Structure 1
Amino acid sequence: MSKLLIEIEGKMTKNAIELNNLTKKFGDFTAVDDLSLAVEEGEIFGFLGPNGAGKSTTIRMLCTLAQPTSGSARVAGFDLIKESDQVRQNIGLVAEKMIMYDRLTAAENLRFFGKLYSMPKQKLEERIDELLELVDMQEWKNTQISKFSTGMKQRINVIRALLPEPEILFMDEPTLGLDPQTTFSIRDITREINQSGMTIILTTHAMTEAEVLSDRVAIIDHGKIAALDTPQNLKNMISHGDITVFGIKIDNLTRELIEKIRSLEMVTAVAQQDDYNLKVSARGDDALNQIIDTIRGEGGDIASLTNSNESTLEDVFLAVTGKQMRDQATEKPVNTHHGHGPAPKARGR
């Protein structure tokens, strides 16, 4: 298997994925614009971006679900275009939409997909038992998927992608819509999978998830890499100035209250850590008082409050991509747009 070797701090390292000027156009619209990057073998690589930034299109190309307009890529050492069959044999995909059949049991679902990979019967049965143990679902092996909670279904969805023992696993929003307990479970499973040596590409809108899991993070915007580094280095690139980060625990935290805080003019970023805790970055000497007044004005019960000058990954994300809302539609809108240029972007490599 041909893989480009690179030397980092005296060690020879293999690239699991290499993109060279990868481009995807839909008519006159450029979704992915001359993208070049390398993912090291065995790392968890976080892929972030606003809606419509190009990350999903990039992942679709790397999984051979869409053809590039130009440029090239190698995945698991194979050419994305010329050796697409070999690429598919070496990757797994945990799609945002669960791919399972409700009338089949967990084991029957896994057997079905295992046979699509032409796995020998004995090997497949051993692999099913091994993976069910990994996600603590052995006792549900012969239960219909329709009786599972969303979190249980997602655990089966994850191990479905692991059946053929892929070299590279793509995880697209793996914790979207899950409760906190299941979210933490999926993150633990992701770490355990990675510790076996598997390369993981993680796309997520949860900044905390990208920060705690990823070895490196790429932020893509308008089809280009806007920033790429370790989570800590990305946070270090934000100049604090008069920005302070507040840790706030609110006993009756709601989505509406989070949006109310986020809408305050002095607030630069809000990151929800769990059901009760927020990290709020804000600018100005009177920021804390205004935030507290807003929370109390909305009926929020503040249990504790701390402050520091540590930036969050969400600070970086908003600095790079801007705070403007991004929406996607399957059809072009009626021509009523009067033009607002793209938000200014921070420098990134």
Structure 2
Amino acid sequence: MDNYRFLLSGGGTGGHIYPAVAIADELRRRHPRAQFLFVGASDRMEMEKVPQAGYEIKGLWISGLERKITLKNLLFPVKLLASLMKANAIITDFKPHLVIGTGGFASGPTLRMASSRGIPCVLQEQNSFAGITNKWLAAKAARIFVAYPGMERFFPKAKIRFTGNPVRAELSESLPDKQQAKGALNQHQDQKTLVVLGGSLGARRINQLIEAELGFLQELGFQILWQCGKGYYQTYKKYTAPGVEVTPFIRDMRTALASADLIISRAGAGSVSELALVGSPVLFIPSPNVAEDHQRKNAEAIVAKKAAVMLLESELEESFKKTMEELVANPEGMRAMGAAFKGLAKPGATAAIVDEIEGLLHKATSHD
């Protein structure tokens, strides 16, 4: 049987969306006649990103709970009930053979309704600290794919498969060499390149830091490729100059990362997994504004293996310059750190997840 129907749900951030798209791409490559449908939260970025990747998506009226009492929180039970009903209608109409959840608000109602109807469901948890939605769904999942060891703290051990995070296909292929990449980006071959990443939406505090320290970074000998995010581009584009390229979004991430001698980045799960494949030294500045402080925990797991350095936002004023000077003064240490990070990469994650999914499908269809 090759005409499977796959329902995928995950969103809110690129960290939930890109793994779902990577899994769908690999399933579509192996099963060209399969049908795919995504379910997202109707006001979040997946409603734009998933169609751009070539897939149909339906939206649920769902959002998370806020930590303080707000009107939004009072609406939550209504939204949840409406989303469960709509998810049920989508499942009735689409009749999926298997449902894949990658975290985020919409995957809760979607996978809860699918599992209640006996449809096999799998979860993919990107972070070292499991999200609320995936913890809620774990008991009914057939498999839980994780990217960090020790996840039996959150999930039933027998269901866990340590696969790593799916990454964009273009990054799992071998990268161009540094000289080639610098040439393609019109960078100086004899100058160090600093690549600044703020995640898919940009990062205010990282942008403020780079703005304040631009002169200092150039004095250290860096040419800078600065992805500031779409919402910040109008503010920061004025800093584009020889040796400084400010861009809202890096389209050719392969070439950009291959050119890097040092990367400054948030520590979202997708970013961590993609940067491991590159093997460049990384300074993580985790976002403090995320559920369960998971970015700090992601970065700490890498720092513990001597494979990256980390500064919290609260430490930037005091420690950023000193940290950068120490990194530049120790090129050997930077190389060793990059190599250690590359050693943690799992380039076959997407294929390993799809192998497991195919095993579940064979089991399910052989029982039919």
Global fold match (TM > 0.5): no
Higher normalized strand content (fraction of residues) = 1
TM-score by length of 1: 0.30
TM-score (norm 2): 0.29
Structure with the higher helix share, 1 or 2: 2
